Structures are given as C-alpha cells and as structure tokens.
C-alpha cells in the first residue's frame, strides 16, 4: 500500500536542507512508520516534502512503512502506536520508538525529525 501523498515533491531542494538530508542519510538502521490519508489536507501539505527528504537521503523503501487511515483516524496499528493525528511519523530502531512527528508540530516533518534524531544520537 502506498499513499499518493508520499510521492516526493519534485521542487523540494535537498541542498537547502543539507543538514536534514545528512542526518537521515547517516542513520541507516531506522524504520519510518507513516500514518496518513490522501484525503487529509495536512498530509497533502506535509508528506510530499518528507518523502522528498527520504528520497534525497537514499532511504530504502523497505525501511518506509505506510499506513492509510480512515476519516475517523482508524487504520493499521493506530491503537498500538496511539495515533490520534495525521500525519504521524514514528521513527524506530530495533522496534523501539526514538522519534515522533505529529501534524501539530510547528516545523516540517523532515526538519523536526532530523533535529530529534540528531539530539538522540548525540545523547548516546
């Protein structure tokens, strides 16, 4: 299953976001779980740029899991991951959550998650 909103934005500028791409590129042991819907305006605004960042970083498709939700925000694993807002992106390492983006964050998903990942990696 693939969300149309996860088609990378062709105009997204990887050079302008080099720090974000660099973080996503270096951490090659992460899995990205993405909940969204093509009917959702927040997902249409957020996910194409996030997909472009993953693409620019060369993240393998097998490390990107997409879950479509209905208008009541029900879908695969929504209860287990306590998904209440979409878009929601959970980043995992070895099955453990290390970062999360939810639609209400004040910055784009790629930047927000790269910042969280940079901080969590520096803490180790």
**E strands, 1-124, in order:** 31-36, 64-68, 88-93, 96-102
Structure-token pair, residue 3:
């969300």
CA 31-95-54 angle, 5° bins: 10
Burial 47-86 (b: 16+ CB within 10 A, else e): bbbbbbbbbbbebeeeebbbbbbeeeeebbebeebebeeb
pLDDT, tens digit, for every residue of 23-49?
Answer: 999 888 999 999 999 999 999 999 999
Match 């993405």 to its residue by tokens: 34
pLDDT, tens digit, for every residue of 57-97?
Answer: 999 999 999 999 999 999 999 999 999 999 999 999 999 99
| Distances in whole angstroms, Cα of residue 50 to Cα of each of 5, 53, 72 | 10, 5, 23
């Amino acid at each position: 299953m693939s969300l149309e909103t996860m088609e990378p934005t062709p105009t997204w500028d990887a050079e302008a976001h080099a720090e974000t791409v660099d973080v996503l590129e270096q951490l090659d042991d992460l899995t990205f779980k993405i909940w969204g819907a093509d009917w959702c305006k927040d997902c249409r605004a957020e996910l194409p740029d996030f997909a472009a960042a993953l693409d620019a970083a060369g993240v393998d498709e097998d490390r990107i899991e997409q879950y479509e939700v209905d208008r009541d925000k029900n879908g695969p694993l929504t209860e287990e991951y306590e998904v209440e807002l979409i878009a929601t992106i959970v980043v995992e390492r070895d099955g453990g959550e290390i970062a999360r983006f939810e639609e209400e964050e004040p910055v784009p998903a790629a930047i927000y998650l790269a910042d969280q990942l940079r901080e969590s990696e520096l803490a180790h």
